[in-house]
Amino acid sequence: MSSLVQMVEKELKIPRKQLVEEGVKQFLEMELRNLSIQIKKVAGRYGVSSFDELWQKLETGKVAESECLDDLTKLEYLELEKKKIAKLLRKAVKE
C-alpha cells in the first residue's frame, strides 16, 4: 500500500481495509457521475437521452447515419461502462 494510505490509517486510526473500501466506493461513484455527464452531453446533441433513443432516430430517418455514427458508438460504449460501474458499486455497497 502507498505511504499515504499508511499515514491516513495511522493518523486517523481508520483500518486500512475500511479506507480502501470507502476509497473504491467514492471512486466508483465519481466515475458514475462522470459517465452520466458524458452521456447527457453526447445524447443532448440529438435531443435524446440514450443510445436506444438515438438509434430509433437513426432508424426513422430523423438523423443521418453519417451525422451520428461516431456519437452512436460513443454512447453505446459510455452506457456499457456506466452499467458495469453501477453493478460494481451495487456490490461494493452490499459489502
Q: Is residue 9 part of a domain?
A: no
In a domain, residue 55? The reply is: yes
Taking the CA atoms of residue 7, residue 1, residue 19 and residue 88 in that order, the dihedral angle to the nearest 10 degrees is 160
Asked whether residue 19 is domain-assigned, the answer is yes
Inside any domain, residue 69: yes
Average pLDDT of 60-85?
Answer: 96
Domain count of the fold of the chain: 1
Is residue 2 in a domain? no
Q: What is the extent of the structural domain holding 25?
A: 15-94
Residue range 26-56, pLDDT digits in tens: 999 999 999 999 999 999 999 999 999 999 9
Establish if 79 belongs to a structural domain.
yes
C-alpha 51/C-alpha 23 separation (Å) is 30
Domain for residue 1, yes or no? Answer: no
Predicted model pTM? 0.86
Query: What residues have CB less than 8 Å from 29, skipping those under 6 apart?
Result: 89
